[in-house]
């Protein structure tokens, strides 16, 4: 989702929202099914007088046992539907929570925002450690730390360290490096041009709008070809009618390997 409530969703964000809506609809459908099954099981159980056991030897014994067994089956179906609802609710909650996607057309700007935040965090941690060494609580307060947070920074940890430990600063620096690298990769990818070439029984495509490397075939490729594609991490995309990977250096390299194998097969 966009962080600016007044900003329209871009194409990728709309796709994410649609995906979230689908999961929520499936969860609601499963909840309705669960409630209906639970009510049905309760209504069936109410038909049996409270505490009445199965009358062994009575002509109704087999019918009674089947009825009781059916009550258990319906209740199990209710529980299964509840589990399904919880599964889809979790899926809906996880949409968009995996970080900034390369498919997002606003990815570079979002990453630059993350970079600014990480750099500001690094400066704040360094300033905090300087203030801690001086025992300057006022400086820590000026940096925005609460009294509780200042107490924690002034309290030695298990290793006798005050303030932010070296590993915390190191981890943040590594995160800054990672974000800068992703920005550089995405900016380089933005300069790519679409590619479409014919090969041995396939069409190869680098689609910058879709951000995908693709192999398209006239029909379903044979088992050997599909296994080659799978070994190189290509996946079948029904919506695109193609075998795809993300359009990045790794995807392009794997595509070259696949093309070399497929073209060699054609030359044999």
Q: What is the DSSP letter of 160?
A: S
Locate 124 and state its tokens: 């704040």
Q: Contact 188/248 with Cβ under 8 angstroms?
A: no
Q: What angle do CA 151, 154, 159 make, to 5 degrees?
A: 125
243 beta partners:
215, 236
Q: Say whether both 228 and 185 belong to one domain.
A: no
Looking at the domain assignment, is residue 6 inside a domain? no
| 263, containing H or E segment | helix 249-267
What pLDDT is attached to residue 2? 43
Looking at the domain assignment, is residue 2 inside a domain? no
Q: Say whether both 259 and 206 belong to one domain.
A: yes
Residues 119, 183: Cα–Cα separation, whole Å: 15
Looking at the domain assignment, is residue 1 inside a domain? no
Domain stops at, among 190, 207, 232: 190
Cα-flanking dihedrals φ and ψ of residue 224, to 5°? -60, -45
Strand pairing report for 235-237 and 242-246: antiparallel
What pLDDT is attached to residue 1? 43
Q: Say whether both 179 and 204 belong to one domain.
A: no
What pLDDT is attached to residue 122? 95
The model's pLDDT over 63-112, given as tens digits with 9 standing for 90+, comes to: 888 888 999 999 999 999 989 888 888 877 766 555 777 767 778 888 89
Per-residue pLDDT of the chain (268 residues; tens, 9 = 90+): 444 556 677 677 777 788 888 888 888 898 889 989 989 988 988 888 877 787 777 777 888 888 889 999 999 999 999 898 888 888 777 665 557 777 677 788 888 999 999 999 999 999 999 999 999 999 999 999 999 999 999 988 777 888 998 888 999 999 999 999 889 888 877 777 889 999 989 999 999 888 899 999 998 999 999 999 999 999 999 988 999 998 888 889 999 999 999 988 765 5
Q: Say whether both 235 and 259 belong to one domain.
A: yes
Q: Say whether both 135 and 172 belong to one domain.
A: yes
Give residue for tokens 């919506």. Answer: 239
The total number of structural domains in the chain stands at 3
Looking at the domain assignment, is residue 5 inside a domain? no
Q: Say whether both 221 and 169 belong to one domain.
A: no
- Domain hosting 64: range is 11-94
Domain stops at, among 190, 208, 223: 190
What pLDDT is attached to residue 202? 94
Cα 21 vs. chain centroid, distance in angstroms? Answer: 15
Q: Contact 205/196 with Cβ under 8 angstroms?
A: yes
Residues 100, 119: Cα–Cα separation, whole Å: 18
Domain stops at, among 190, 214, 245: 190
Using CA atoms, how far residue 54 sits from 131, 142, 192, in Å, is: 78, 76, 75
Residues 47, 189: Cα–Cα separation, whole Å: 68
Looking at the domain assignment, is residue 3 inside a domain? no
């Amino acid at each position: 989702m966009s962080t600016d409530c007044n900003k329209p969703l871009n194409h990728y964000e709309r796709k994410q929202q649609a995906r979230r809506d689908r999961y929520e609809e499936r969860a609601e459908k499963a909840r309705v099914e669960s409630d209906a099954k639970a009510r049905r099981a309760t209504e069936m159980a109410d038909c049996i007088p409270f505490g009445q056991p199965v009358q062994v030897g009575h002509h109704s014994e087999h019918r009674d046992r089947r009825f009781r067994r059916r009550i258990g089956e319906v209740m199990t179906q209710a529980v299964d539907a509840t589990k399904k609802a919880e599964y889809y609710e979790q899926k809906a909650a996880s949409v968009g929570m995996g970080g900034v996607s390369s498919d997002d057309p606003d990815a570079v700007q979002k990453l630059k925002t993350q970079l600014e935040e990480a750099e500001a965090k690094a400066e704040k941690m360094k300033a905090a450690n300087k203030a801690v060494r001086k025992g300057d609580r006022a400086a820590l307060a000026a940096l925005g730390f609460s009294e509780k947070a200042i107490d924690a920074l002034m309290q030695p940890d298990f290793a006798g360290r005050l303030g932010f430990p070296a590993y915390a600063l190191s981890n943040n620096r590594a995160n800054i490096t990672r974000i800068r690298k992703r920005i550089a990769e995405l900016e380089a990818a933005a300069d790519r041009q679409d590619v479409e070439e014919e090969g041995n029984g396939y069409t190869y495509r680098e689609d910058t709008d879709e951000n995908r490397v693709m192999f398209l075939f006239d029909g379903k490729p044979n088992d050997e070809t599909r296994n080659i594609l799978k070994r190189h991490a290509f996946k079948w995309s029904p919506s695109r009618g193609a075998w795809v990977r993300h359009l990045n250096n790794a995807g392009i390299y794997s595509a070259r390997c696949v093309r070399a194998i497929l073209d060699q097969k054609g030359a044999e």
